């Protein structure tokens, strides 16, 4: 491989990490509250509300069932509106975030659902309000599971970021596509794929370790 | 003494897969201030549902629950939350926050009550002293034994000075030694703080040890209620007999023989009754089951025995025990 390619790959790694980290963080800004709402408004819960729960659930399910590649294309006008461009790393962050939000929401909902009903009963018996219960009982109890879920989400976003290469996003995915696929440079293809695999593993392992340490 | 709880014709129905199920049937009772009130029944009898109607964790289907004269069913959510702060509860599975240390767990109800941070810590430490765990304040519940966890739960429950403590099978997950320690702690708090305690259990030994009065629940119905001593001496309902009588099956030599049950309650434990019976009347009895224990130097317990064959002899033996001041009951097989 030429120096130029190596240089390109190094830039690609930093672009991929940027897309993954920024999109994941942004996805949590919306996905975490959404997941909490999905959890709390479900039947029999502290803020049980059938209508809201149904509508949120429907929106999340529709967004999740769209293939990410389709979402990428569908969101082009929106991306252009937000970032002024539809190509490049910055532009990729928009569809990545939008695509990750419903996944984050479901993951958060699932982590919160694992909290033992006994904890909720204890909180109710103390006279805690629903908001207090969520902030001081449910979220702390679910923290290790939330962290583990976050690692899975980040790995998913990383995978999606490679797909963003198809419509002109940056990062390792774009390099693999352009040099490896269109120009038959197998060595570049395998190098980028290997780096992607390593990145996913590092994210997953770090997330798992932080989650384990946080579990008291 | 004024009453803390009054239940008027409380009933609770569930629908499970289209089938109606009555968990509580027309239950009326009162729990007085300062007493330790037991609610006992087999599992599935409805006692856990009953205790949850006391703080409205369960809504009743019919009837009314009053707490200090206030009907719980009428309260708006905010008012209910305020009332619940006066009705603390502990659970079989402790329900402590596993991700928070002991001190932080105990401070929760104080925080809910809106008490300032510095004061919260002070009060929580006081409570940990009461339960003897002040040196564990920085530990996490996962590193404590079951008995210690329940003591933390008690400290947490009592931190915000409630009027009542509800205990839902609080000792069922503990071994006998730890059960004894927890019950002693509850008794001590009841004495010193004049705290009303409601205890749900399926073990008669728990009721015998600390309860003043007891209600027996069987298949959702209140079948018997009264002083623990009285019910122990003379259980009337089938459910009460099942709970009070020794659990090992009697195996009389002759199925037709009459069985009686003697109850010792303090005044009469140190005397050798059986020897006296033989010496004075010359009649013999066969002891099938005996269970006596010394509580503070006073004997307490029961004995099931088989009477002689002849009816005249049976009367002599029974009269002898009655004359000596023992409670005698015929046992039906």
Record: contact B95-A129, CB cut-off 8 A: no
In the structure, what pLDDT confidence band is assigned to residue B67 with cuts at 50, 70 and 90? very high
A-chain residues within 8 Å CB-CB of B55? Answer: 125
* Per-residue pLDDT at B8: 95
- Token pair of A105 as six digits: 């929401």
User: Is residue A11 scored above 90 in pLDDT?
Assistant: yes
Query: B218: domain CATH number?
Result: 3.40.50.300
Rg of chain A taking only CA atoms, in angstroms: 20
B-chain residues within 8 Å CB-CB of A125? Answer: 55, 57, 84, 87-89, 166
Residue A36 three-state SS: helix
* Per-residue pLDDT at B5: 96
In the structure, what pLDDT confidence band is assigned to residue B295 with cuts at 50, 70 and 90? low
- Which of A49, A121, A122, A141 to mutate: most B Cβ within 10 Å? A122
- pLDDT digits 0-9 by tens, A100-124: 999 999 999 999 999 999 999 999 9
In the structure, what pLDDT confidence band is assigned to residue B314 with cuts at 50, 70 and 90? confident
- pLDDT digits 0-9 by tens, A57-66: 999 999 889 8
Kind and range of the H or E element at B262? Answer: strand B259-266
* Per-residue pLDDT at B269: 56
User: Is residue A54 scored above 60 in pLDDT?
Assistant: yes
- Which of A117, A119, A127, A130 to mutate: most B Cβ within 10 Å? A127
* Per-residue pLDDT at B299: 67
* Per-residue pLDDT at B294: 62
Alpha-carbon distance of A133 to A83, in angstroms, equals 39
* Per-residue pLDDT at B250: 61
Instruction: Count A/B contacts: CB-CB distance under 8 Å.
Output: 64
The reply to whether B183 and B291 lie within a common domain is no
Record: contact A116-B81, CB cut-off 8 A: no
Closest CA in chain B for residue A122 = B95
Record: contact A122-B83, CB cut-off 8 A: no
Record: contact B87-A125, CB cut-off 8 A: yes
Residue A113 three-state SS: helix
- pLDDT digits 0-9 by tens, A68-106: 888 888 999 999 999 888 888 888 999 999 999 999 999
A-chain residues within 8 Å CB-CB of B109? Answer: 126-127
- pLDDT digits 0-9 by tens, B221-240: 999 999 998 888 888 998 88
Record: contact B88-A121, CB cut-off 8 A: no
In the structure, what pLDDT confidence band is assigned to residue B330 with cuts at 50, 70 and 90? confident
DSSP state string for B104-165: HHHHHHHHHTT--HHHHHHHHHHHHHHTT-GGGTTS-GGGS-HHHHHHHHHHHHHTT--SEE
Q: What is the mean pLDDT of chain A?
A: 92
Residue A216 three-state SS: coil
Q: In what order do the strands lie in the sheet with B298-306?
A: B286-295, B298-306, B259-266, B327-331
Q: What is the mean pLDDT of chain B?
A: 89
Question: Quick one: average pLDDT of B14-42?
Answer: 91
Record: contact B97-A141, CB cut-off 8 A: yes
User: Is residue B296 scored above 90 in pLDDT?
Assistant: no
A-chain residues within 8 Å CB-CB of B81? Answer: 127-129
* Per-residue pLDDT at B72: 95
In the structure, what pLDDT confidence band is assigned to residue A166 with cuts at 50, 70 and 90? confident
DSSP state string for A145-156: HHHHHHHHHHHH
Query: B314: domain CATH number?
Result: 3.30.70.260
User: Is residue A184 scored above 60 in pLDDT?
Assistant: yes
- Which of B90, B93, B144, B170 to mutate: most A Cβ within 10 Å? B93
The reply to whether B175 and B282 lie within a common domain is no
- Token pair of A21 as six digits: 């980290």
The reply to whether B61 and B203 lie within a common domain is yes
In A, what residues contact B, Cβ < 8 A? Answer: 116, 118-119, 121-122, 124-129, 132, 136-137, 140-141, 143-144, 214-216
Answer yes or no: are the C-beta atoms of B136 and B115 closer than 8 Å.
no
The reply to whether B195 and B289 lie within a common domain is no
Question: Quick one: average pLDDT of A45-60?
Answer: 95
Record: contact B99-A132, CB cut-off 8 A: no
Q: Domain A3-214: what homologous superfamily?
A: MetI-like (1.10.3720.10)
Residue A120 three-state SS: helix
Question: Quick one: average pLDDT of A9-24?
Answer: 94
Record: contact A125-B140, CB cut-off 8 A: no
- pLDDT digits 0-9 by tens, B249-276: 566 566 677 888 888 776 655 677 788 8
Q: How far is B78 from chain A (nearest CA, A)?
A: 8
What does the domain layout of chain A look like in residue ranges? 3-214
The reply to whether B222 and B252 lie within a common domain is no
A-chain residues within 8 Å CB-CB of B89? Answer: 122, 125
User: Percent of chain A scored above 90 by pLDDT?
Assistant: 69
* Per-residue pLDDT at B253: 60
The reply to whether B103 and B208 lie within a common domain is yes
ipTM: 0.85
In this structure, chain A runs to a length of 216
A-chain residues within 8 Å CB-CB of B140? Answer: 216
Query: Which range of residues forms the domain containing residue B294?
Result: 245-331
- pLDDT digits 0-9 by tens, B75-97: 999 999 999 999 999 999 999 99
Residue B66 phi/psi, 5° resolution? Answer: -110, 135
Interface of B with A in 104-133 (CB under 8 A): 108-109, 111-113
* Per-residue pLDDT at B1: 59
The reply to whether B136 and B163 lie within a common domain is yes
The reply to whether B220 and B118 lie within a common domain is yes
The reply to whether B180 and B304 lie within a common domain is no
User: Is residue B166 scored above 90 in pLDDT?
Assistant: yes
* Per-residue pLDDT at A121: 95
Handedness of CA B96, B100, B102, B106 (dihedral sign): negative
Local structure of residue B73 (DSSP, 8 states): G
Q: How far is B108 from chain A (nearest CA, A)?
A: 8
Q: How far is B86 from chain A (nearest CA, A)?
A: 8
* Per-residue pLDDT at B275: 85
Record: contact B108-A136, CB cut-off 8 A: yes
Single pTM value for the model: 0.86
Q: How far is A147 from chain B (nearest CA, A)?
A: 13
Closest CA in chain B for residue A140 = B99
The reply to whether B193 and B259 lie within a common domain is no
Answer yes or no: are the C-beta atoms of A199 and A16 closer than 8 Å.
yes
* Per-residue pLDDT at A49: 94
* Closest by Cβ to B93, choosing from A118, A126, A132: A118
In the structure, what pLDDT confidence band is assigned to residue B44 with cuts at 50, 70 and 90? confident
Query: What is the total count of domains within chain B?
Result: 2
B88 in contact with A, Cβ within 8 Å: yes
User: Is residue A1 scored above 80 in pLDDT?
Assistant: no
């Amino acid at each position: 491989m030429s120096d130029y390619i190596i240089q390109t790959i190094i830039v690609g790694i930093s672009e991929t990490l940027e897309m993954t980290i920024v999109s994941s963080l942004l996805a949590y800004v919306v996905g975490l509250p959404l997941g909490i709402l999905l959890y709390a408004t479900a039947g029999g819960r502290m803020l049980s509300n059938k209508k809201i729960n149904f509508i949120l659930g429907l929106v999340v399910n529709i967004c999740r069932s769209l293939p990410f590649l389709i979402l990428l294309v569908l969101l082009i006008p929106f991306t252009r509106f937000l970032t002024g461009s539809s190509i490049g790393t910055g532009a990729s962050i928009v569809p990545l975030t939008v695509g990750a939000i419903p996944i984050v929401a479901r993951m958060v909902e699932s982590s919160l659902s694992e909290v033992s009903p006994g904890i909720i009963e204890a909180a109710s018996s103390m006279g805690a309000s629903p908001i207090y219960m969520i902030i001081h009982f449910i979220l702390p109890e679910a923290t290790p599971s939330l962290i583990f879920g976050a690692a899975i989400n980040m790995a998913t976003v990383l995978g999606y970021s490679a797909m963003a290469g198809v419509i002109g996003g940056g990062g390792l995915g774009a390099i693999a596509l352009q040099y490896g696929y269109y120009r038959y440079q197998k060595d570049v293809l395998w190098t980028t794929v290997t780096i992607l695999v390593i990145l996913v593993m590092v994210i997953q392992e770090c997330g798992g370790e932080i989650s384990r340490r946080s579990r008291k | 003494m004024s009453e803390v709880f009054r239940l008027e014709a409380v009933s609770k129905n569930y629908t499970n897969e289209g089938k109606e199920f009555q968990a509580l049937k027309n239950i009326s009772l009162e729990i007085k201030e300062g007493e330790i009130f037991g609610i006992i029944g087999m599992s599935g009898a409805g006692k856990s549902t009953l205790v949850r109607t006391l703080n409205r964790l369960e809504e009743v289907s019919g009837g009314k629950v009053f707490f200090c004269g206030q009907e719980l069913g009428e309260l708006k959510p905010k008012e209910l939350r305020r009332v619940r702060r006066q009705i603390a509860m502990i659970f079989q599975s402790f329900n402590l926050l596993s991700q928070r240390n002991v001190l932080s767990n105990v401070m929760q109800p104080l925080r809910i009550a809106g008490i300032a941070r510095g004061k919260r810590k002070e009060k929580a430490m006081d409570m940990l002293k009461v339960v003897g765990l002040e040196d564990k304040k920085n530990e996490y519940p996962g590193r404590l034994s079951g008995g210690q966890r329940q003591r933390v739960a008690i400290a947490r429950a009592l931190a915000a000075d409630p009027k009542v403590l509800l205990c839902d099978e609080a000792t069922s997950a503990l071994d006998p030694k730890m059960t004894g320690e927890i019950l002693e702690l509850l008794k001590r708090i009841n004495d010193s703080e004049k705290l009303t305690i409601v205890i749900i259990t399926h073990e008669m030994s728990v009721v015998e040890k600390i309860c003043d009065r007891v209600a027996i629940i069987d298949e959702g119905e209140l079948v018997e209620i009264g002083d623990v001593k009285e019910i122990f001496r003379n259980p009337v309902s089938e459910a009460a007999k099942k709970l009070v009588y020794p659990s090992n099956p009697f195996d009389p030599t002759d199925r037709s023989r009459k069985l009686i049950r003697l109850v010792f309650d303090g005044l009469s434990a140190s005397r050798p009754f059986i020897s006296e019976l033989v010496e004075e009347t010359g009649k013999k009895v066969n002891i099938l089951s005996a269970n006596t224990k010394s509580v503070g130097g006073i004997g307490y317990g029961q004995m099931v025995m088989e009477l002689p064959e002849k009816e005249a002899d049976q009367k002599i033996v029974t009269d002898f025990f009655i004359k000596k001041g023992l409670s005698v009951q015929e046992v039906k097989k």
